[in-house]
Amino acid sequence: MKAVLLAAGIGKRCYPLTLTRPKPLLRLANTTILEHNLKEFADLFDELIIIIGYKGDMIRKLLGDKIHGTKIKYVEQLEQLGTGHAVLQAKEHVKGSFVVCGADDLFFRQDVKDLLKNKGSAVMCHDMEWPESFGVIVEEKGVLKQIVEKPEKFISHQVNTGMYLLQESIFPILESTEKSMRGEFEITDAINQLAAKEQVKVTRADKWLPIGYPWHLLDANKLLLEGMKEDISGKVEKNVTIKGMVKIGKGTVIKAGSYIEGPAIIGENCELGPNCYIRPFTAIGNKCRIGLSEVKNSILMDNVTSKHFAYIGESIIAEGVNIGAGTVIADLRHDNTNVQSFYDEKLVDTNRRKFGAVIADNVKLAIHTSIYPGRKIWPGKFTRPGDIVKSDLL
């Protein structure tokens, strides 16, 4: 059986991180979303068909033609016209049963295996606290009746994960499906038509995690770190305190006086300390330099530098960012309400009481920069000494 992974979209809701990489290559727990999924899919499929488009060459370069012993075929979606249109690009490459899923959400092995137990077609659902943000599953005795996109009234906590077991008979339906209200060809419209004609089973995912906005990376990072095994391959000097499950990569040096609370992961060829404080659920990438700074529940990608008296809390810091001395990223509002962040000129509730900043590639923060909670900084931007970032820096 083959799996079709949809990886062509732009991922605008994850700006500014996706201005410089496709969304499936966003990092968490020192891996990409796509690499995590392909590890979970190992040995379950004969071939992986990845539909690429936006910055697709970055995916090709990372994965090559094979991963975990499974062949990869790349198919380009020249225009991003929706999920249904993306699946149609695989028509000439699949026969019989096949699996479809988005490449930018987190899936887990046992859930995929449960889906594959079905005969015929099936959809995978998951219970969510805020179902109104998703396609909601309407079922009867385990059989799909309808997928309702973002219903205004409560229907169910069961939402569509975007993973389907389908047959090649779906392609004529996709070809006849009209554009949705959003102006796209939607796979869910075709699934609804299929469910009206034949039985489509519903299976439940235990651990699926959607990545809609940047702050969802912190939830996914936490989940992966909780399942991590300890592995200290780097050098740890005397008078370093390590508590809990911590993974330290080769070539990394943790200098005296540093205090690390797991679960946490630190990549290869890093230099931490002396006297840094790394708090739980932090992922630090490769070739990072963290001096006398505090990092809490954050994702730092490769080549991040924070040498002097900085505080990084509940934040996502992309590659090549330099954080000047005395920089503080605030992650809590004084009124204790949820942090909000702008998307498409509208404030979006992060549903997080604590959330810091999203800082894109190659940003330079000058000394004593202060950043309000929920703010974003676009690639290559910089601040001046003493700047206060009250709004997104575009």
Q: What local confidence, expressed as pLDDT, does residue 180 receive? A: 85
**CATH numbers and ranges of domains, the chain:** 2-212 (3.90.550.10), 220-389 (2.160.10.10)
Element containing residue 173 per DSSP (H, E):
helix 170-176
| Burial 354-391, CB ≥16 within 10 A → b, else e | bbbbbbbbbbbbbbbbbbbbbbbbbbebebeeebebee
pLDDT tens-place string over residues 207-243: 999 999 999 999 999 999 999 999 999 999 999 999 9
* 1 and 97 Cβ atoms separated by less than 8 Å: yes
| Burial 245-277, CB ≥16 within 10 A → b, else e | bbbbbeebebbebbbbbbbbbbbbbbbbbeebb
Cα gap 49→88, rounded to integer Å? 12
Q: What local confidence, expressed as pLDDT, does residue 152 receive? A: 87
Among 21, 18, 209, which residue's Cα sits nearest to residue 111?
209
Among 368, 374, 370, 365, which residue's Cα sits nearest to residue 392?
374
* 133 and 212 Cβ atoms separated by less than 8 Å: yes
Expressed in angstroms, the distance from the first to the final Cα of the chain is 45
User: In the annotation, is 126 catalytic?
Assistant: no
DSSP 312-352: EES-EE-TT-EE-TT-EE--B-TT-PPPEEEETTEEEE-S-
pLDDT tens-place string over residues 338-356: 999 999 989 999 999 999 9
Q: What local confidence, expressed as pLDDT, does residue 182 receive? A: 83
DSSP β-bridge partners for residue 242: 260
Among 123, 108, 134, which residue's Cα sits nearest to residue 37?
108
Predicted TM-score (pTM) of the model is 0.96
Q: At 139, is the secondary structure helix, strand, or coil?
A: strand
Q: At 18, is the secondary structure helix, strand, or coil?
A: helix
Q: What local confidence, expressed as pLDDT, does residue 177 receive? A: 93
Catalytic residue selected from 93, 216, 308, 368: 308
* 378 and 342 Cβ atoms separated by less than 8 Å: no
Cα gap 308→291, rounded to integer Å? 6
Among 175, 170, 168, 208, which residue's Cα sits nearest to residue 192?
170
Spans of the chain below 70 pLDDT = none
Which residue shows structure tokens 């889906």?
115
Q: What local confidence, expressed as pLDDT, does residue 380 receive? A: 98
Q: What local confidence, expressed as pLDDT, does residue 181 receive? A: 83
Cα gap 141→60, rounded to integer Å? 42
Please count the helices (runs of H) and the strands (runs of E) in the chain: 7, 35
DSSP 33-100: HHHHHHHHTTTT-SEEEEEE-TTHHHHHHHHTTEETTEEEEEEE-SS---HHHHHHTTGGG--SEEEE
* 160 and 177 Cβ atoms separated by less than 8 Å: no
> Beta-carbon neighbour count of residue 46 at 10 Å?
10
The backbone region for 41, taken as left when phi is positive above 0, alpha when psi lies in -120 to 50, beta otherwise, is: alpha
> Beta-carbon neighbour count of residue 147 at 10 Å?
23
